[in-house]
Amino acid sequence: MIVVRCDACGGKVAFDADVGVVRCLFCASVALEPVPADERPPLPEDVVPFGLDRESAQERFRAWTRASWWRPKELASVAAELGRQALHAALLELDHPITGQRMRFASPLPDDISAALEGQWDDIPRRSLEAIAVEAYRTGALTESQVRRLLGLETRFQVHALLKDHHVPLRYTAADLEDDVQAQRDLGILPSR
């Protein structure tokens, strides 16, 4: 077993010596350096196979890249030929199927990306979660109430401020307006009809 570290993204890859790696599986770089034995990550005992074949996975990825204006246009053009593994998670947690023990796998951001984001954002995990919540609201995947709960916000006005900061309009229909007017009438704030 040989383990290499990518100089471009910092990813570590383990492979059988007879296979030979030409590129990093994460970023497709060829700048690979051997990892000393004392710095090698623990190797998995088992591997869970993917439920999709490569062609199906690529088609789903292409469809996903076309599903939102938020995704960079360049992403769709490279979707067919990534030339690298298209799987990355900063954190993966699961319960072991036999022992039930919680397993946690962390993959921190590469140092250069982390430094760039820290220069702009005070709390990278929070800002990442906010970005997910805003996009989920914009696409209709989450409601205003769900965004509030996800982010631990106390009022809907905090959600409105967040959406405004990200230039995402509220989904406020004529029926919502009628409900609000009726609620104000019921509270005596507006006169009855």
- Of all residues in the chain, the percent with pLDDT exceeding 90 is 18
Q: What is the mean pLDDT of each run of 10 residues along the chain (193 residues)?
A: 78 70 70 80 63 76 71 58 54 75 77 81 85 91 89 92 94 84 90 84
- Would you say the pTM of this structure is higher than 0.75? no
Question: Where are the chain's structural domains?
Answer: 2-39, 121-193
pLDDT digits 0-9 by tens, 15-44: 766 665 567 776 777 888 888 877 776 666
- Beta-carbon contacts of residue 105 (< 8 Å; ≥ 6 apart): 89, 91, 92, 93
β pairing state of 2-6 and 32-34: antiparallel
Say what the pLDDT of residue 135 is. 92
